Structure 1
Amino acid sequence: MATGALVLTALAACSSPSATQELDAQPERIAHGKEVYHFNSLEDMTATADLVVQAHVASVKPGRWIGPPGGADGERVREVTLQVDRVVLSRIGDVPANITLDEWGWDNKGNGYQFENVTWTKAGDQGYYFLTRTPEVANNFGLISSQGRLLVQGNGSAAKLNPSAGKDDEIHAALSALPPSTFEEHLRKTAADAKSGKIKPVEKSFREQ
């Protein structure tokens, strides 16, 4: 099953967890799978996302099951509450003050894993999120791809961007080299071009990892 624009490969079959199942506090491994989108530029990612926000993380807790709860194919998301500081681009109309980001996750035995380079979010994180609607639940979103999160780390002149894109991706090198203030200016122009139609969304293209 998928949440947002990610489709995970199947995990090993396991027995059903008990009602008192413990969940790992940290991911044990990195999961790989297919992605609906793979972007080579900020422009493409911005134009394709349903929603782009600058936000900070208010809380993180265990979320809903994807697939049968405790079943062999069941997986559980981490429910990340984003407090929206600024809407950069919206194709969904009005945006609530708080939105929920589905993040991987736990398998059906409670073993933690992260998807690709998207490290586990923690309360207090802040940055930019390129999102797509989660069809199963209103007001829930997923990253448009594993490249769709840029955390801002540090303050003032020491601040830097930490993209979730893999280090071998073109977009990682381009974004990580920008100071946050320069990125913000570039993103504002890119969003305006996307709104006006100068930049078009890219076609879906499943990419085997």
Structure 2
Amino acid sequence: MKVKSGGFLRALAAAAVIGAVAGGIATASASAEGSSSAAGSSAHRDAHPERVVHGREDFSFSTVNALVGTSPVLVRGTVLSAEPGRKVGSAEEGGIDQARNVKLRVDAVMKKSGYEVPSTITVEEWGWDGAGNAYQMEHLTWSQVGDTGYFFLDKDVMLTTWRYVSSQGRVLVKDGLTKSSADPEGPLFPLIEGRTNTDFYAELKRLLDPANAGQLTVLPQPVPANGDQQNEVPDDGATEPVPDDSTNDGSEPTPYPSST
């Protein structure tokens, strides 16, 4: 399945919604087939993302230094479970989207910036549209049970869940090597992808050493989007790729193995 970006992106107009998507993405949705019932609920949920959604993010990192310096919280953790989370939006706003709650066992708190970080936390990922069609944000694939790695996070004081500081803010460790959620064509990706866990961990520890605090790059907080900035991402004519694990064969998506 190829989905043209301008064909399904719509604004998440409510400020609470804007701040809740990964890294404060100011636009996003994947309502490609239109919204479902007026209540925005459906017994059907895809088990895997069928499309990729782009959006404006608070931060775009080009160095590990800036990613570490700007992220309020950095934990090393392991995914324990994943299940449908809260719903946002309404029929009047163009549809309802549902988050995906990823329960994370915190194996180590590497940076906390004054936050209280319990032994287990819930991180929001996205998500489903009102018809239960699944999507992922940028290159941030859905976390799976058993995944382990580094999670660069922020906290919305209005929510109990945590969110990624950016869609670039997850580094999984597979077979001892790092897997970045950054854009493979961007500058951050080659600085992280394919490194040994030992090497990457050593860099994080070096950057977080209090003796090096003055050397960290902290990107300025963005000005909140308003007006036309909240409406949509400009359509550049590109098509949205389906995630790698999608069958893309026109068959019915696999229902999500969870109750509504």
Matched position secondary structure for 1:39 = coil
**1:147 paired residue among 152, 165, 168:** 168
Higher strand share: 1
Query: SS of 2:95's equivalent?
Result: coil
Write the distance in 2 (CA, Å) between the matches of 1:183 and 1:162. 11
Tell me the residue number matched to 1:39. 61
**For each residue in 1:10-59, what CA deviation from the matched residue of structure 2 results, as whole angstroms up to 9, or x when unmatched?**
44451325755211111110011111100011110111111000000011
2:186 to 169, 187, 200: 169
| Number of the residue aligned with 2:26 | 7
Shift of 1:70: 10
CA contact (8 A) 1:84 1:97 kept: yes
**Matching residue within 132, 149, 155 for 2:154:** 132
**SS of structure 1 residue aligned to 2:110:** strand
Judging changes above 3 Å, is the alpha-carbon distance between structure 1 residues 70 and 193 closer, same or farther for their aligned structure 2 residues? farther
1:52 to 74, 92, 95: 74
Amino acid of the structure 2 residue aligned with 1:92: G
Please tell me whether the aligned partners of residues 148 and 172 of structure 2 are also in contact (alpha carbons under 8 angstroms): yes
Distance 1:195 1:66 in 2: 41
2:171 and 2:134 map into 1 onto residues whose CA distance is 22
- 2:180–2:193 Cα contact (<8 Å) kept: yes
Within 5 A, what are the aligned runs for 1:58-207?
58-68=80-90, 72-138=94-160, 140-154=161-175, 159-193=176-210, 196-205=213-222
Aligned residue for 2:43, secondary structure, equals coil
AA matched with 1:141: W
Stretches of structure 1 lacking an aligned partner (at least 5 in a row): none
Q: Is the 8 A contact 2:29 2:129 kept in 1?
A: no
TM-score, normalised to structure 1's length?
0.88
Q: State the AA in 1 paired with 2:26.
A: V
| Structure 1 residues 68 and 134: CA distance shift in structure 2, 3 A | farther
Task: State the secondary structure of the residue aligned to 1:204.
Answer: coil
Secondary structure in structure 2 of the residue aligned to 1:184: helix
What TM-score results when the alignment is normalised by the length of structure 2?
0.72
Give the 3 Å change call, closer, same or farther, for CA 56–171 of structure 1 in structure 2: same
Aligned to 1:35, what secondary structure does the other structure show? coil
RMSD over aligned CA atoms reads 2.4
Q: Is the 8 A contact 1:8 1:31 kept in 2?
A: no
Partner SS state of residue 209, structure 2: helix
Aligned-residue offset at 1:130 = 0.3
Cα 1:108/1:149, change in 2 over 3 Å: same
Distance 1:44 1:82, change over 3 A: same
Q: How many residues align?
A: 204
Aligned-partner Cα distance in 1 for 2:194–2:173:
13
Residue 220 of structure 2 aligns to a residue in which SS? coil
Gaps of 5+ in 2: 1-16, 224-228, 235-260
